[in-house]
């Protein structure tokens, strides 16, 4: 089953998390996706020292666990250091997916510690890495219970671009799930001076293209009021638009597979009849 990892950039409260997780779970069940609620307890890599970082480790992990119990969902959150993973493990509060932020995707000790927990580890591919550089990451983690997420590649200053040839390379060359992050891919890092910018209007089109290419797993940040979110607002989807994006992902994946199958059936038939094509 294809995976959808979705939720707000930060966990702002249990109530907010329950509201978003409830909507996302229902939509994912409707369209046949395996859902994981995502939110960060600490945004440790904000553009400015004045950026809001979140609830913090102890309160944030507790809030995520409460959302999990209340809504009945699996969870995903970022970890920035080995001691944070150790804390969550000791408190029996590890999420179902441990996520490694893009800037830390080559941090050996963090990767090894995450994998040793036995949880699924979702590694955001750094904006500075080529698709074939993922081999170095996997040399530290192995392929079991590991996913790689594409979230755009640096393209000059304050801009990212999605390289679909790179996505196809990873789909064809790595025996692990490849995830497409449609919301961070439209981010403009540091684009507003003291914070990052972005354009959420491009998210649906990028996801449709990834689905047509053959990507099955997606990461999407959603918020009930992204224009007033404490972080990543410009690139987060409105919660009300989440269903439309998932419907497109499902439909484009199905229609592309159907079209390819029809084309192959036609060309095979022509070949059998000796008809040039």
* pLDDT number for residue 46: 66
* pLDDT number for residue 260: 47
* pLDDT number for residue 194: 67
pLDDT digits 0-9 by tens, 159-216: 999 999 999 999 999 999 999 999 999 998 877 776 778 899 999 999 999 999 999 9
* pLDDT number for residue 189: 83
36 φ/ψ angles, rounded to the nearest 5 degrees = -125, 125
This model's pTM is above 0.85 = yes
Q: Sorting pLDDT into bands at 50, 70 and 90, what band is 223?
A: very high
Fold designation for 3-272 = TIM Barrel (3.20.20)
Q: Tell me the domain boundaries of the chain.
A: 3-272
Q: What is the 3-state secondary structure (H, E, C) of the chain?
A: CCEEEEECCECCCHHHHHHHHHHHHHHHHHHCCEEEEECECCCCCCCCCCCCCCCCHHHHHHHHHHHHHHHCCEEEEECCCHHHHHHHHHCCCCCCEEEECHHHCCCHHHHHHHHHCCCEEEEECCCCCCHHHHHHHHHHHCCCCEEEEECCEECCCCCEECCHHHHHHHHHHCCCCEEEECCHHHEECCCCCCCCEECHHHHHHHHHHHHHHCCCEEEEEEECCHHHCCCCHHHCEEHHHHHHHHHHHHHHHHHHHHHHHHHHHHHHHHHHCCCCC
pLDDT digits 0-9 by tens, 98-143: 999 999 999 999 999 999 999 999 999 999 999 999 999 999 999 9
CA 93 to chain centre: 21
* pLDDT number for residue 209: 96
> Which stretch of 114-118, 248-252, 263-267 has the lowest confidence by average pLDDT?
263-267
């Amino acid at each position: 089953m294809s995976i959808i990892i979705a939720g707000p950039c930060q966990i702002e409260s249990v109530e907010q998390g329950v509201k978003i997780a409830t909507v996302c779970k229902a939509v994912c069940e409707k369209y046949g996706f395996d859902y994981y609620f995502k939110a960060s307890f600490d945004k440790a890599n904000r553009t400015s020292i004045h950026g809001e970082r979140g609830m913090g480790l102890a309160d944030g992990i507790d809030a995520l666990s409460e959302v999990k119990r209340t809504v009945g969902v699996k969870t995903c959150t970022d970890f920035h250091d080995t001691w944070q993973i150790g804390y969550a493990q000791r408190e029996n509060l590890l999420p179902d997916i441990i996520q490694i932020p893009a800037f830390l995707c080559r941090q050996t000790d963090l990767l090894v510690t995450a994998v040793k927990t036995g949880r699924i580890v979702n590694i955001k591919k750094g904006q500075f890495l080529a698709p074939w550089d993922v081999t170095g990451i996997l040399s530290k983690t192995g392929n079991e219970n590991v996913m790689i997420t594409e979230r755009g590649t640096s393209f000059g200053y304050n801009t990212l671009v999605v390289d679909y040839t790179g996505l196809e390379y990873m789909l064809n060359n790595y025996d692990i799930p490849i995830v497409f992050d449609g919301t961070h891919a439209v981010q403009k890092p540091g684009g507003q001076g003291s914070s990052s910018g972005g354009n959420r209007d491009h998210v649906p089109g990028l996801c449709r293209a990834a689905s047509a290419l053959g990507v099955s797993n997606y990461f999407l940040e959603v918020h009930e009021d992204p224009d007033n979110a404490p972080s990543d607002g410009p690139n987060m989807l409105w919660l009300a638009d989440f269903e439309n994006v998932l419907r497109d992902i499902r439909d484009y994946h199905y229609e592309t597979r159907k079209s390819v199958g029809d084309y192959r059936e036609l060309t095979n038939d022509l070949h059998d009849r000796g008809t040039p094509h």
